[in-house]
Amino acid sequence: MTKHIEFTINGEDRSADVPPHITLLRFIRESMGLTGTKEGCGNGECGACTVIMDGEPVRSCLVLAAEINGKEILTIEGLAKDGKLHPIQQAFIDAGAVQCGFCTPGFIMAVYAFLLRHPEPSKEQAAEALKGHLCRCTGYESIFNAVGMIVDNARKMEVA
């Protein structure tokens, strides 16, 4: 048995018939071919699989694909525009905050969602928003340096 879903992903209207038990994470990676979203723990604890659903960050390993009917999904692939990285992506590169890179899409999507809600944040608020995101390379210092650069530039940054 499958469920018919209609949704928008990275600005594109799409539809699909999905089995009821398939997670959004698997659907994004295997059916949509968007492998930028990573599977870390697979049970909601690491944040690697974070995507944006209707403006809110969600751990896609905990959401069923069937739940995205009528929703707007944004993945890491939807951030760059006209061949130019999103300023959040650029800040991670400039700060050397990408080691193996496995956790990076989740961190970036979480920062993106945070800035949607807090256009002029403090560094403390930004750090709070990233609680629960794990980096197995333990590159937290450079990640928080990137976040500091993003916070410093937040007023100039067009997030969405």
Task: Enumerate binding residues for ligand FES (CB under 6 A).
Answer: 39-42, 44-49, 59, 61, 99-104, 135-137, 139
- 118 and 124 in contact (C-beta within 8 Å)? no
Q: How far is the CB of 15 from ligand FES (least distance, A)?
A: 25
Nearer to ligand FES, 100 or 119 (CB): 100
Nearer to ligand FES, 106 or 121 (CB): 106
Rounded Cα gap, residues 74 and 50, in angstroms = 10
Q: How far is the CB of 3 from ligand FES (least distance, A)?
A: 22
Nearer to ligand FES, 40 or 81 (CB): 40
Nearer to ligand FES, 79 or 160 (CB): 79
Rounded Cα gap, residues 44 and 25, in angstroms = 11
Q: What is the CA radius of gyration of the chain?
A: 15
Q: How far is the CB of 134 from ligand FES (least distance, A)?
A: 7
Q: How far is the CB of 24 from ligand FES (least distance, A)?
A: 10
Nearer to ligand FES, 59 or 86 (CB): 59
Q: Percentage helix, strand, coil, to 5, in the chain?
A: 40, 20, 45
Q: Which distant-in-sequence residues (6+ apart) come within 8 Å of 12 by Cβ?
A: none
- Report the amino acid identity of residue 99: Q
Q: How far is the CB of 153 from ligand FES (least distance, A)?
A: 22
Task: Output phi, psi for 80, to 5 deg.
Answer: -65, 140
